[in-house]
């Protein structure tokens, strides 16, 4: 199986998850804080998600074959979807641990040392999250970007937990610890929902992002100014790969060679404007009325 050029980032995420699990578990054992326990549980989810991300990035890098002629790019959506689902599971686990502490609050022990360890783990996540987000956006990888967002969520979660546990140590209000854990759970539920939603939209062949659609429109507009027409423009994305298809309407008196040269120039301009794009075109004569009757996706259905 081929190696994905993005796999090294997923491996970095795995290493970061292992390190932070160890640090945050130690912080929880030292303090007994359910807030820090919730933080450690989310890092465990990070590890599972990072392993899934790595496996799906490797799968997505496989070349097309007879059974998957468009490649395996959509595998990334499974990774990001699972990551969102695991975040929701982690939120449920945090709630399960926090509710009993509301009924039977417990004091925080060795808060200073525990918070220092947790802060170190958060710094690791912050550095790795920024690396993953930058790489994911540059490559258009939804799986890597989801992993980066997840780690950034962990950073903000940890910051809130550290502040809350510190407040418990200073004020002695023990119920603040489980209340904070429940607030963390609510926050990461929203993050998990957004990641799952984005993955589902990707599996439903969502159109290109507005910025990419604007670049596509600019290429077509340049040729419209020359009298060329376009219709049935459709776009979709699958992981890092983009797909664009449309019909090109030219004067019927043009030679096949001239029409071919035109669509080659248009396709090249689109690939330059939107990297990793597969462009499919269909050439039609402007004068033929039938050329304007084939814009529907399901042409001829119900006729």
Residues 113-160: pLDDT tens digits?
Answer: 777 887 888 889 899 989 988 888 887 777 788 788 778 877 877 777
Residue 151 included in any domain = yes
- DSSP annotation of 208: P
pLDDT at 249 over 50: yes
Residue 248: pLDDT band with limits 50, 70, 90: very high
Domain extent at residue 274: 210-292
> Which tokens sit at 102?
């509301």
Residue 172 included in any domain = yes
**Lowest-pLDDT range of 103-107, 127-131, 239-243:** 103-107
pLDDT (tens digit per residue) in 185-227: 777 787 778 778 877 777 777 888 899 999 999 999 998 888 8
Residue 60: pLDDT band with limits 50, 70, 90: confident
Residue 299 included in any domain = no
Looking at the fold, whether 89 and 225 belong to one and the same domain comes out as no
Yes or no: say if 258 and 278 are a contact pair by the CB < 8 Å rule: no
Q: Based on the structure, what is the number of domains in the chain?
A: 2
Looking at the fold, whether 173 and 42 belong to one and the same domain comes out as yes
Looking at the fold, whether 115 and 257 belong to one and the same domain comes out as no
pLDDT (tens digit per residue) in 28-40: 787 777 667 767 7
Ordered strands of the 277-285 beta sheet: 229-238, 241-250, 277-285
Looking at the fold, whether 219 and 113 belong to one and the same domain comes out as no
CA–CA distance, 120 with 259 (Å, rounded to integer): 62
CA–CA distance, 64 with 67 (Å, rounded to integer): 8
Identify the domain boundary among 186, 203, 220. 203
Q: Which long-range contacts (CB under 8 A, 24 or more apart) does 160-163 make?
A: 160/184, 160/187, 161/33, 161/35, 161/36, 161/38, 161/39, 161/118, 162/115, 162/118, 162/119, 162/122
Looking at the fold, whether 244 and 163 belong to one and the same domain comes out as no
Yes or no: say if 141 and 237 are a contact pair by the CB < 8 Å rule: no
Yes or no: say if 31 and 165 are a contact pair by the CB < 8 Å rule: yes
Residue with tokens 């359910």: 34
pLDDT at 61 over 80: no
The pLDDT assigned to 221 comes to 92
pLDDT at 265 over 90: yes
Residue 1: pLDDT band with limits 50, 70, 90: very low
Average pLDDT, the chain: 80
**Lowest-pLDDT range of 180-189, 261-270, 293-302:** 293-302
Yes or no: say if 56 and 141 are a contact pair by the CB < 8 Å rule: no
What's the CATH number where 282 sits?
3.30.70.1350
CA–CA distance, 170 with 112 (Å, rounded to integer): 11
What's the CATH number where 23 sits?
1.20.1510.10
The pLDDT assigned to 175 comes to 74
Looking at the fold, whether 54 and 172 belong to one and the same domain comes out as yes
Average pLDDT over residues 239-247: 86
CA–CA distance, 146 with 137 (Å, rounded to integer): 10
Looking at the fold, whether 136 and 234 belong to one and the same domain comes out as no
CA–CA distance, 72 with 1 (Å, rounded to integer): 12
């Amino acid at each position: 199986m081929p190696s994905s050029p993005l796999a090294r980032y997923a491996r970095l995420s795995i290493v970061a998850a292992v390190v932070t699990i160890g640090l945050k578990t130690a912080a929880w054992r030292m303090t007994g804080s359910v807030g820090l326990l919730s933080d450690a549980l989310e890092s465990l989810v990070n590890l599972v998600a990072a392993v899934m991300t790595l496996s799906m990035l490797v799968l997505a890098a496989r070349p097309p074959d007879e059974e998957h002629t468009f490649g395996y790019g959509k595998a990334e959506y499974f990774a990001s979807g699972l990551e969102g689902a695991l975040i929701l599971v982690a939120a449920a686990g945090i709630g399960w641990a926090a509710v009993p502490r509301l009924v039977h609050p417990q004091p925080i022990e060795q808060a200073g040392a525990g918070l220092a360890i947790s802060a170190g783990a958060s710094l690791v996540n912050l550095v790795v999250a920024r690396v993953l987000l930058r790489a994911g956006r540059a490559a258009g990888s939804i799986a890597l970007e989801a992993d980066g967002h997840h780690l950034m969520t962990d950073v903000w979660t940890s910051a809130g937990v550290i502040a809350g546990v510190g407040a418990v140590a200073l004020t002695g209000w023990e119920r603040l610890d489980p209340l904070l854990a429940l607030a963390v759970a609510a926050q990461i539920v929203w993050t998990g929902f957004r990641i799952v939603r984005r993955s589902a939209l990707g599996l439903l062949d969502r159109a290109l992002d507005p910025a990419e659609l604007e670049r596509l429109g600019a290429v077509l507009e340049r040729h419209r100014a020359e009298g060329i027409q376009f219709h049935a423009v459709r776009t979709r994305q699958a992981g890092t790969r983009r797909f664009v298809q449309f019909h090109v309407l030219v004067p019927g008196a043009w030679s096949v060679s001239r029409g071919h040269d035109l669509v080659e120039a248009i396709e090249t301009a689109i690939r330059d404007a939107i990297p990793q794009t597969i462009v499919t075109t269909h050439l039609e004569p402007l004068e033929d009325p039938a050329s304007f009757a084939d814009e529907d996706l399901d042409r001829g259905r119900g006729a």
